[in-house]
Amino acid sequence: MIKKISLLVIMAIGICLLYGGYYTFKQSRDALNWPQTKGQMISSSLTIDHLPKFINSRIIPNRWYGIQVEYEYTVGEGRYSSHRLSFQKGDTRYPKEALAALNKYRSQQEITVYYNPQDRTQAVLEPGAIGDIYFLLILGGFLTFFSLLTLYYQSLEYHCGADSFINQGQAYQNQGKFEEAFVEYTRAIRMNPRFALGYSSRGELYLQQKETLAKMKFFVVGPDGTTILNELIKSGILEEVSPIEVRLKPDIELKQDTVREIAKGDFDEIWAILQQFQKNWDKAIADFNQAIVLDPKNASVYFYLANAYLGKKEYPQAWVNMNKAMDRGFKISLEILKNIEKRGFKRAS
């Protein structure tokens, strides 16, 4: 973020230099066509500008010499004065050049003045002088081009880098390495906080946490000699999905009191195991909502958001987002729709 702000500041400086250089260039060129009148030099003097000491004098001279003038001129019945020699700064590192220019105006009591017919108070002695203006234009153009090019490649780096994190996260997710996948998706989001795919991928990961656990985790023998696994199955909390795995029964509401009654002294251990089934619904919902803010046309995100609300048993919100997914062309199976409709929620006609 700091790097981006610095580049934006550099670009703003470059644009200001370009604008100032172009405006001064135009003024200097336009002054060649201004009407002329006679004027009188009132005073002229040599100026010396000292650069800050921290600037290396071997690279940039720390003394620059210029001329300060004051003259008067008459247009019609009006009498005016000005200090402008030219539209460029005109300073030089060589004192002899400055003294030669100073002597030029000291020796001339009468001078030719170019004045702006639209604003007679604006005048210049040397119109068309544009030497230093080219430097402003070149420097401004370079700073602007450099900052734009760097921002462009930085954005490519963000997207390419974020995409690589997403690809690695999906590979981990397919291998069942959820913790590693979570780290990669989070890296993608941190690299590019406006990357909708990062949020939706992490949201899907929250929904894909463990659905089954090995039976051996529940082989804890209770005080009466029965296994807690069998008691959890009999009570309708767990169901068998294979000879070695069990899962929470669909739509079961896990209550501590019920589990405590079955597990008794082993409650803490068994409750911690059962918690592994619990999905991070709220975190999934937060990620899907952020993905929708960034990419509101993605129909699949609404579907996954609806599934998260289904998991929380917030059926009205689930149906609202199912509708949004279908309105955007997402195909949803009849089984899922009937599962929601049997709870009294139907799609609006």
Beta carbons of 104 and 41 less than 8 angstroms apart:
no
- Residue 337: the pLDDT is 72
- Same domain as 332, residue 269: no
More confident residue, 169 or 162: 169
Which range (23-32, 60-69, 127-136, 201-210) has the least confidence? Answer: 127-136
Band of pLDDT at residue 349, cut at 50, 70 and 90: very low
Letter for the amino acid at 322?
M
DSSP codes of every residue in 124-137: ESSTT--HHHHHHH
Contacts of 206 (CB under 8 A, 6+ apart): 279, 280, 281, 283, 284, 287, 308
With a pLDDT cut of 90, the percent of the chain lying above it is: 18
272 and 297, same domain (yes or no): no
pLDDT band at residue 247 using 50, 70 and 90 as cut-offs: confident
pLDDT digits (tens, 9 = 90+) for 78-107: 999 998 888 876 677 778 888 887 888 876
pLDDT of residue 270: 82
Is the pLDDT at 235 greater than 60, yes or no? yes
Residue 42 lies in a domain: yes
Say whether both 47 and 75 belong to one domain: yes
Is the pLDDT confidence value at 54 over 60? no
Taking the C-alpha atoms of residue 242 and residue 280, their distance in angstroms, rounded to an integer, is 25
* Domain boundary, last residue among 105, 127, 149: 127
Q: Are residues 78 and 102 located together in one domain of the fold? A: yes
Please give the distance of CA 311 from its chain centroid, rounded to a whole number.
Answer: 33
Same domain, 235 and 303: no
On the question of pLDDT at 300 being above 90, the answer is yes
69 shares its domain with 107:
yes
Q: Are residues 53 and 96 in the same domain?
A: yes
Q: Give residue for tokens 């650069």.
A: 51
pLDDT higher than 60, residue 157: no
Task: Please state, in angstroms and rounded to a whole number, the distance separating the CA atoms of residues 45 and 101.
Answer: 10
Element of type H or E holding 27: helix 2-31
User: Please, which pLDDT band fits residue 280 given cuts at 50, 70 and 90?
Assistant: confident
Among residues 26, 34, 46, which one has the least CA distance to residue 121?
34
Among residues 99, 127, 155, which one ends one of the domains?
127
CA distance to 19, 125, 261, 317, per residue, from 257 (Å): 74, 96, 6, 29
In a domain, 169, yes or no: no
- Give the 3-state secondary structure of residue 228: helix
Same domain, 271 and 291: no
Classify 325 as helix, strand or coil.
helix
How crowded is the C-beta side of 192, counted as CA atoms within 13 Å? 24
The pLDDT value given to residue 113:
93
Kindly state whether residues 39 and 78 are assigned to the same domain.
yes
CATH number at residue 327: 1.25.40.10
Domain that holds residue 307: 281-341
Q: Quick check: is 162 in a domain?
A: no
pLDDT band at 240 (very low <50, low <70, confident <90, very high): confident
57-79 tens-digit pLDDT: 555 556 788 888 899 999 988 99
The three-state secondary structure class of 179 is helix
Task: Quote the pLDDT of residue 137.
Answer: 76
> How many Å apart are CA 349 and CA 338, to the nearest integer?
16
Instruction: Count up the domains in the chain and report the number.
Output: 3
pLDDT of 261 above 80:
yes
Would you state the pLDDT for residue 347?
54
